[in-house]
Structure 1
Amino acid sequence: MNTYYTGYYSSPVGLIKVQSNTDYIVSLDFIDNKLPDDENHNFLITNCLNQLQEYFEGKRVQFNLPLLPSGTDFQKAVWSELMNVPFGSIKTYKDIAVAINNPKAVRAVGGANNKNPIPLIIPCHRIIGSSGKLVGYGGGLWRKEWLLNHEKVK
């Protein structure tokens, strides 16, 4: 049986809940309320919370954490490609579809983005519509806009 650990970070875009198993970060969620009895840190959670702090302070442009997102092979391919989109940059859903050698899968890429279990660290907020519009962010478009502004995306 896996042991899971939980930590919370109060960010400028709301409360963030981070979960890990013994070896990997497995989820990050924007939540409304902290569950006071639910905090159980391990080194990995502490490290993740520190890296989130550095990111929001403008001191970190890349996360360095072991990740284990749960999803289909297609979703994992999309999420892996998202990790190649650097801080301060954006790509379109079509760019990601082309990069994973499935250029007709633009909508499926959007669906995979929506199911990203570790947003922010797997930077799905850096993906925009082909028209240049901010579309589809599970955490809310206002958060996507805030994060892109934070990263000084033009």
Structure 2
Amino acid sequence: MNVDLRATMRTFATGVTVVTTYVDRPEGRRHDAVTVNSLSSVSLEPPLVAIGLRHASPFLADVLESRVFAVSILDVGAADLAGAFAARRDQRAAALSSLSATPGAATGALVIDSPGWLECVYHQQVAFGDHTLVVGEVVAAGVQERRPPLIFLHGSYHALAQRAVPLLPEAIC
């Protein structure tokens, strides 16, 4: 059976994040950042999140070397930022040089001014198919009231038009 997973998953709305990490080299610290929409909370106790990265990704190699990463959850004003960090590494380096971000106090990975952010320490990795899930333990986090979140759907960025009605507690799985 030929399954077109990409076409089907394009109908699933996800949030958009920029994930950052770094490696220390003799010439100094080199930061990198990538746009990721495969973020999942996998445990509340301990607090764990997972990101999915291609096996061949140089960014994955950096995360596995540094053993830290930060996740900045983007709002509707950050579509250009998301596009800049969805590019090749050399193009991301240019965008990174003008990025308004600060090293996180807990990990040193860059945290972008955004509605929500997480600093994570490597916990585990699991390879599946053509991607590796990197699970990080959340060691610091923050939120601030901002514009609506940036959403990725049907291959492009969108704004949430209105806030959703909260689910009743018994409806949550």
Bin for the TM-score computed over the shorter chain: under 0.3
TM-score, normalised by the number of residues in structure 2:
0.24
Whose relative contact order is higher, 1 or 2, with alpha carbons under 8 Å and at least 6 apart?
Answer: 2
Return the index of the structure with the highest Cα Rg: 2
